[in-house]
Amino acid sequence: MKELKCELIKPITLKIDNKSAISLAKNPISHGRSKHIETRFHFIREKLTNGMIELHYCPTELQLACGFTKAVKLDKFEFLRKKLGVFDVQQL
Amino acid sequence: MSMSKLQANTTMFRQIVGSLRYLCNSRPDICYSVSVISKFMHDPRKSHLIAGKRILRYIKGTMDFGLLFPYGAQSEVNELIGFSNSDLCGDLTDRKSTSDYVFKFNGATIFWCTKKQPVTALSSCEAEYIVGTFATCQALWLD
């Protein structure tokens, strides 16, 4: 984006629909249940402390990426499709 | 013999999946369904071919659909928002989760990805945490 002469506002927002994942990333403490997570996945913690990214909770209904992990019902699918910006050219 | 046992035309199935994969680059809505059928590239059965044809039928019905990049009504600041999600144990055979993330730049979808995670996550929290890391890497690259 910098090459495109397009400055982004920092930090970049990342929306996750799991609160415990957010708290795990925000607290740099290691405890029993998170011990087995590979060290390379703690990269997100580092970037969060650096202020490069920001994590926000996002309820599942508003989670855009929802339709990418599972098959969703027709009305939900159409809603997500609209949210993603896929439109019928004829109807615009 | 049931349909799930019958061998499908492997070459044709692979050609369909290949073409659909290409189409995924401009149509985020079919991304997930294509990723599901492309897991059976090695030894496709009749039921997989039927699923592939179902996607082709959907595309025929939504031929005029495309990604919209809204013009005007933009603010001064350029904002990049990422959405990340995962399903715990989406693949029942190897118990690996699917990670996916979408990036929106000033309201236009510019990047999306659906991928099976390289490691087995034990909890949904861990699965989401791993996706978060992948999405962070992507965000830093986009920056």
Q: Is residue A19 part of a domain?
A: yes
- Tens-place pLDDT, residues A31-83: 666 767 777 777 888 888 888 888 888 887 777 777 777 788 888 888 888 88
Residues A70 and A48 in one domain: no
Say how far apart CA B81 and CA B102 lie, in whole Å. 8
Q: Please state the φ and ψ torsions of residue A41, each to the nearest 5 degrees.
A: -80, -5
pLDDT exceeds cutoff 80 at A7: no
**B87: which residues sit within 8 A by CB, 6+ positions away?**
A69, A70, B97, B98, B127
User: Considering the entire predicted model, what is its pTM?
Assistant: 0.83
Q: How far is B36 from chain A (nearest CA, A)?
A: 10
Q: Return the pLDDT at A91.
A: 75
A4 falls within a domain: no
Write down the ipTM of this complex: 0.80
The residue ranges of chain B whose pLDDT is under 70 are 1-4, 72-76
Domain that holds residue A27: 9-58
Instruction: Mutation target for B interface from A64, A80, A81: give the one with most B CBs within 10 A.
Output: A64
Same domain assignment for residues A24 and A38: yes
CA distance B51 to B89: 21
Beta-carbon separation of B85 and A6 below 8 A: no
Could B129 and A44 be called an inter-chain contact, meaning their C-beta atoms sit closer than 8 Å? Answer: yes
Specify the pLDDT at position B14: 92
Which pLDDT value is given to residue B20?
Answer: 92
The reply to whether A43 and A77 lie within a common domain is no
- A45 in a structural domain: yes
On whether residue A2 sits in a domain, the answer given is: no
Q: Does A57 touch chain B (CB under 8 A)?
A: no
Strands B96-105 and B108-116: antiparallel
- Tell me, what's the pLDDT at A55? 86
Query: Are residues A66 and A48 part of one domain?
Result: no
Decide if A28 is inside a domain.
Answer: yes
Please determine, for residue A30, whether its predicted confidence score (pLDDT) is greater than 80: no
Total domains, chain A: 2
B64, B66, B133 member nearest A44 (Cβ): B133
- Structural contact between residues B112 and B102, judged by C-beta atoms closer than 8 angstroms: yes
What's the confidence (pLDDT) of residue A41?
79
